[in-house]
Structure 1
Amino acid sequence: MSTFEHLSCPLDATPLSLNKRSLICARGHTYDLAKTGYINLLPVQNKRSKDPGDSKEMVAARQAFLNQQHYFPIVDQIVKSWPQDNMPSQARIRVLDAGCGEGYYLSQIGKAFSNQKGALERLGLDISKWAVTAASKRDKDVTWIVGSNASLPMPSDRVDVVLCLFGFPVFSEFARVLSKSGLLLLVESGADHLIELRKILYPSIHDYKPTHADGVPHFELVSESTANYSFTLPSQADIQQLLAMTPHIHKASYEGREAVKLLQSITLTADVKLRWYRKTTQETNHV
């Protein structure tokens, strides 16, 4: 079961303690556990919109797509590339998935390391309550949190590994919550990711520009690898599920989306970049 230990009040950064089905800070701020077992630590005043993050429909589409295991080779590459000096076989490893979505990757990583001798303590955080609700139904052994990467509701030195998979990194916060020499994994789309679909959706494809080419503040690069493979979506329904979980559903032209509706199947390239970083500096204040 998830524990909800060592979390902080998002309003005043003081420690939270569990009292029955609520987390309470010393100043009396109270956060109730949801029926499915997650905790919402995103106060109304910290929201930029009424319902931030992925919508209920986007979450459902992503869950349906990921459950078909089209992206399992990415999970496999994450596990294969995991630095040997930070394995759960050697010690208790605390992992935060910052932008966990509906929980697919963190759940699969837990299964992959389930035969290790050490413990893997997993926390998943996302700004979308719909995503965290789905995640909390998927895996009961994870502490699931509605919250923001911009102000992680936990004290400094809380975790050993931060995962940011196709998400929005906030490096100062990642460095703050990571233990000394903690690890960060960034997983991002490569130049040819879903290129076949993008060529249908857009009249032209922009040149690929690598992110963080000049490095990442507070971190040094440890290793870099890719997951590059092909997979086939055999039906229009499968294609629409993929489209609905990507930014392309909003960015593509009407003509491009209509052209995709004519497809009965498509073979796509998955091109994903994985970069492991190690924390090099200490961060202090909770922002």
Structure 2
Amino acid sequence: MNLLMCPVCREQLKLNDRTWRCDNQHSYDVAKQGYVNLHVVQHKHSKNPGDTPESVQARRAFLSAGHYAPLQQAVVKKIRDLRIENLLDIGCGEGYYTNAMQAEVLQCVGVDIAKNAVQVAAKLNKEITWVVATGATLPVLDHSIDLCTSLFSPIPEQEILRVLKPEGYLMVVTPAPDHLYAMREALFEEVKPHEPHKFVDQLAEGFDLVDEMVVDAPMILPQQDLKNLIAMTPYAYKVKAERREALEAQDQFEVKAQYQIYLFQKK
């Protein structure tokens, strides 16, 4: 089944050769890298939205080194236990998690607003439908998805409710209270623990919380991996240059990653 929806008229898209087309003849070509761009101009607020190429490359290098593998494995196990068919990964980025999820489902769609991230992702796995699009208008048919995932990404609640089947699932991964605490202490004068539970309150109207877990992953990072970690986070834009330089000068750095995984079910 084709899961994609035309972002202009909201009709089902069908893939013919290398072009997605709806009954109203709106058409979208598959790029040579293997993704389709459904981020139409009327939905854009900037020329190149989403992560910068530098951030994407830093994340690709850091994740490829395996530091976040404990999270990837925990997410994959939860998906395997759900035994579902159709998965939509919102904010798929360069595809590290989406690529692993795909083996557990029949159909997998990865969506991100950053074209440069999706271009990288599309080279990973040809079984995934890779899409450039905005979460504010997910280009996916109503009630067609068993599980939406949002890992460190926005959570467009009303769009998720629209695309999920009745009693479908939403998996949210967000920093747990102590995530990268030592790194944040080195970068900023004042550090507060993350507050993951705010998402439970935000989603309470449309979703029931059915499962939650925290994954701890201590890391000892070589200098280049530390630089990549800083570059792939929002901290890269917020930190004073001298603090960043002092931290990046260390040969290695010990820090704990701590992830909060929530599994919600649509009411």
With structure 1 as the length reference, what TM-score do the two structures score? Answer: 0.88
Q: What is the percentage of aligned positions where both structures have the same residue? A: 37
8 Å Cα contact 1:31/1:39 also seen in 2: yes
- CA separation of 1:207 and 1:226: change in aligned 2, threshold 3 A: closer
Residue in 2 that maps onto 1:116: none
One-letter amino acid of the counterpart of residue 21, structure 2: I
TM-fit CA distance, 1:12: 1.4
8 Å Cα contact 2:175/2:194 also seen in 1: no
TM-fit CA distance, 1:261: 2.4
Q: Does 1:242 find its partner at 2:234?
A: no
Residue in 1 that maps onto 2:8: 11
8 Å Cα contact 1:95/1:161 also seen in 2: yes
8 Å Cα contact 2:76/2:100 also seen in 1: no
How large is the RMSD of aligned CA atoms in angstroms? 1.6
Residue in 2 that maps onto 1:99: 91
8 Å Cα contact 2:95/2:110 also seen in 1: yes
Give the counterpart of 2:207 among 200, 219, 222.
219
Give the counterpart of 2:251 among 259, 264, 270.
264
Q: Tell me the secondary structure at the aligned position of residue 238 of structure 1.
A: helix
Segments of 5+ residues of structure 1 without an aligned counterpart are: 114-118, 281-287
Corresponding residue pairs, total: 265
One-letter amino acid of the counterpart of residue 163, structure 2: V
Q: Does 1:195 find its partner at 2:192?
A: no
Q: Does 1:87 find its partner at 2:83?
A: yes
Counterpart Cα distance in 2 of 1:229 and 1:104 = 17
8 Å Cα contact 1:215/1:221 also seen in 2: no
8 Å Cα contact 1:202/1:252 also seen in 2: yes
8 Å Cα contact 1:123/1:142 also seen in 2: yes
One-letter amino acid of the counterpart of residue 20, structure 1: D
Counterpart Cα distance in 2 of 1:55 and 1:175 = 29
- CA separation of 1:18 and 1:81: change in aligned 2, threshold 3 A: closer
Counterpart Cα distance in 1 of 2:143 and 2:217 = 36
- CA separation of 1:222 and 1:215: change in aligned 2, threshold 3 A: farther
Moved runs in structure 1, 4+ residues, more than 4 A? Answer: none
Give the counterpart of 2:21 among 9, 20, 24.
24
One-letter amino acid of the counterpart of residue 126, structure 2: K
Q: Deviations over 1:133-183 (max 9, x none)?
A: 111001111000001111101111111000000000011111110111100
8 Å Cα contact 2:188/2:239 also seen in 1: yes
Residue in 2 that maps onto 1:37: 34
Residue in 2 that maps onto 1:284: none
Deviates more, 1:30-39 or 1:9-18: 9-18
Larger proportion of helix: 2
One-letter amino acid of the counterpart of residue 212, structure 2: E
Counterpart Cα distance in 1 of 2:112 and 2:216 = 27
8 Å Cα contact 2:218/2:256 also seen in 1: yes
Give the counterpart of 2:148 among 155, 159, 162.
162
Counterpart Cα distance in 2 of 1:255 and 1:213 = 37
